[in-house]
DNA sequence: CCATTAATCAATGGATTTGTTGAATATAGT
DNA sequence: ACTATATTCAACAAATCCATTGATTAATGG
């Protein structure tokens, strides 16, 4: 019954559903956040500095495309990525942007230079330094993200609490702070504050999903309910 | 100078450039075609059944996102994918659509059932059958696509010329026809015509870029000028 | 320099998408 | 049942995107 043309139109329309879901900066930010683990609408709204209503609508857009699914829990709705492939999609798009657009590194370098924060480790460099010296690994994301998955042995210390809990950290070791990934600013602020207070500190550019994709171990607290 | 928020906005805006390039069915069709090799605007327009003007505009959209680049050759402009990663992007999106949307297989199966063409090989199955019997591999795409890259040993016989050149084909061997990929209809028509004329024929679902991605060999004619 | 061919540009109206606002819904606890 | 909280829904104006049409540019061959 369907003509060749109608068939092709239908197929490409389906593929475009994926594209349309990731054609908006805010939706990409939501995906990036959801790569850290399941979150409620309100959490996502706060972390992305969007209104709840707007967040909800974008989430429904993502849901239409099956990139995320929702679970009702009391009056909350917990959104999460459909599966690993969704996180991989985000990483693929981010990688292509890095690869193709000079603006990407220009923006990043200008921003980091202003903050004297160009220096950073990647996962491989970290792995190597860990064989040579003893480091303190600091996860500065909110605790619920730490709970979902973190570097084995990393200490959880959300950046908002950092100022009040500096005393917990050793001054004789270099502190490596990480957060959500190369474009997340939490570890930036953490390193800045640590250095101001006389600590030796450096940022890890990669986030959990990055090193997980590279095959490095991630530990999480199971059965969060 | 830039605030955290401005930085994030700028970054996600860059990533969204990729997404916006692939949010339209017609642009995905163009990418799919360009996975077969470089083509002029007029070729792309014809193969996608779009107007030249519309094709040109979509190509510029793709070019803005650096997914394709253009080379001037006389009064022609030859568009081609920027690199392998662009083809991989298309295959990723197509894969997610297959994975997430039941509509994808529903559409395909309904279409194929109508044509009694559900039966098909994939690359692995072909490889295996090649060890057991002698098959004729038929590349039914236009010759210029065959020239860019094809299965080693495949015979080029564009589907439009098939009717007039049936005599060139052996009746004692099964003929395996392939084209651009799982959603291309060329091999469908080829198999239909072959069977009507008493040949044993079957479709290969995968296309060149699919088996190339799986590590199978592809041969092409170098130095096309 | 003119004609031809290939492709882009420009302008149009129509359709889709977006952010905002405030109202509606749904669940849990009292 | 009433209240509070979390989220979605509905509606609207602003912005963006799209296909079509016809004009324009650019290169080639005479």
Rounded to whole angstroms, how far apart are CA atoms B112 and B203?
11
d(CA A23, CA B19): 4
Task: Identify the residue whose tokens are 């589907």.
Answer: B159
CB proximity under 8 Å: A 176-195 to B: 183, 185
| pLDDT attached to residue A117 | 84
Q: Which CATH architecture has domain B4-86?
A: Orthogonal Bundle (1.10)
CA-to-CA distance for B142 and B160, rounded, in angstroms?
8
Q: In what order do the strands lie in the sheet containing B39-40?
A: B39-40, B76-81, B68-73
A74 touches strand C (CB under 7 A): yes
> Residue B116's pLDDT band (boundaries 50, 70, 90)?
confident
* B:24-63 residues touching chain A, CB 8 A cutoff: 24-26, 28-29, 32, 49
**Phi, psi (rounded to 5 degrees) for A174:** -75, 135
A22 and B16: CB-CB below 8 Å?
yes
Provide the pLDDT for residue B172.
Answer: 93
Alpha-carbon gap, residue A115 to A189, rounded angstroms: 9
B82 CA → D14 C1’, Å? 35
Annotated catalytic, B35? no
Q: What is the ipTM of this complex?
A: 0.95
Which residues on chain B are in Cβ contact (under 8 Å) with A183?
7-8, 11
Would you state the pLDDT for residue B17? 98
pLDDT at B106 over 90: yes
C-beta of residue A140 within 8 angstroms of C-beta of residue A159: yes
Model confidence pLDDT, tens digit, residues B2-12? 689 999 999 99
A61 touches strand C (CB under 7 A): yes
**Burial profile A46-79: b = 16 or more Cβ within 10 angstroms, e = fewer:** ebbebeeeebbebbebbeebbbbebeeeeeeebb
Render the burial of B133-160: b for 16+ CB within 10 Å, e for the rest: eebbbbbbbbebbbebbbbeebbbbbbe
Task: Please check whether residue A172 touches B, CB under 8 A.
Answer: no
Protein CA at A2 to nucleotide C1' at D21, angstroms: 30
CATH ID of A110-213, from 3.90.245.10, 3.20.20.70, 3.40.250.10, 2.60.40.150: 3.40.250.10
At residue B222 the predicted structure's pLDDT band, cuts being 50, 70 and 90, is low
End-to-end Cα, chain A, rounded Å: 50
Residues 65 through 124 of chain B touching chain A, CB cutoff 8 Å: 65-67, 82, 85-86, 88-89, 92-97, 99-101, 103-104, 107-108, 110-111, 114
Q: How confident is the model at residue B187 (pLDDT cuts 50, 70, 90)?
A: very high
How far does the CA of A35 sit from the C1' of C17, in Å? Answer: 26
Q: A29 vs B22: CB contact, 8 Å cut-off?
A: no
Helix (H, G, I), strand (E, B) or coil at B40: strand
| Residue B66 clears pLDDT 70, i.e. is over it | yes
- % of chain B surpassing 90 pLDDT: 95
Query: What confidence score (pLDDT) does residue A116 get?
Result: 86
pLDDT tens, position by position, A128-155? 999 999 999 999 999 999 999 999 999 9
Q: Which residues of chain A make contact with B58, given a CB cutoff of 8 A?
A: none
Place B225 in a pLDDT band, splitting at 50, 70 and 90: very low
Average pLDDT in the B98-112 region? 96
Helix axes B52-64, B41-48, angle to 10 degrees: 110
For domain B109-213, which CATH number applies: 3.30.830.10, 1.10.3210.10, 3.40.250.10, 3.90.950.20? 3.40.250.10
The predicted pLDDT at position A224 comes to 46
| pLDDT above 50 for B198 | yes
Q: What is the pLDDT of residue B220?
A: 85
Chain B residues touching residue A89 (CB < 8 angstroms): 92, 96
pLDDT, mean of residues B126-140 = 95
Q: Dihedrals φ, ψ of A177, to 5°?
A: -100, 135
Contacts B22 to A, Cβ<8 Å: 16, 18-19, 23
Instruction: List bases in chain D with any atom under 7 Å of a protein Cβ.
Output: 4-10, 17-23, 26-28
Helix residue spans in chain A (DSSP H): 4-21, 25-34, 41-48, 52-64, 84-100, 102-114, 123-132, 143-148, 159-162, 186-196, 208-213
CA distances from B57 to B21, B62, B139 (A): 12, 9, 30
- Strand C proximal to A64 Cβ, under 7 A: no
Domain boundaries, chain B: 4-86, 109-213
Nearest-by-CA chain A residue for B88: A92
The per-residue pLDDT of chain B, averaged, comes to 95
The partner residue sitting opposite B25, judged by closest CB among A13, A25, A93, is A13
Q: Identify the weakest region by mean pLDDT among B1-5, B44-48, B140-144.
A: B1-5
Helix (H) or strand (E) holding B51: none
- Provide, in whole angstroms, the distance separating residue A44's CA from nucleotide D13's C1': 27
Average pLDDT score over residue span B49-63: 97
Q: Give residue B224's pLDDT band: very low, low, confident or very high (50, 70, 90).
A: very low
d(CA B99, CA A88): 13
* Positions of chain A with pLDDT under 70: 1-2, 222-225
């Amino acid at each position: 019954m369907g003509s060749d043309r109608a068939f092709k139109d239908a197929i490409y329309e389906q593929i475009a559903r994926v594209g349309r879901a990731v054609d908006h900066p805010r939706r990409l930010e939501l995906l990036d956040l959801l790569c850290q683990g399941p979150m409620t609408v309100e959490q996502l709204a706060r972390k992305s500095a969007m209104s709840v209503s707007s967040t909800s609508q974008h989430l429904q857009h993502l849901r239409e495309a099956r990139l995320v699914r929702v679970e009702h829990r009391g009056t909350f709705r917990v959104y999460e990525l459909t599966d690993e492939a969704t996180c991989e999609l985000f990483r693929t798009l981010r990688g292509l942007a890095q690869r193709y657009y000079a603006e990407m590194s220009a923006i990043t370098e200008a921003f980091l230079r202003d903050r004297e924060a160009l220096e950073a480790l990647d996962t491989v460099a970290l792995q190597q330094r860990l064989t040579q010296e003893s480091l303190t690994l600091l996860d500065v994301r909110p605790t619920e993200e730490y709970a979902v998955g973190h570097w084995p042995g990393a200490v959880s210390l959300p950046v908002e609490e950092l100022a009040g809990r500096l005393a917990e950290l050793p001054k004789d070791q270099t502190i490596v702070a990480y957060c959500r990934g190369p474009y997340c600013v939490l570890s930036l602020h953490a390193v800045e504050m640590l250095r101001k207070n006389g600590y030796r500190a450096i940022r890890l550019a990669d986030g959990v999903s990055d090193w997980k994709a590279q095959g490095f171990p991630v530990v999480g607290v199971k059965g969060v309910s």
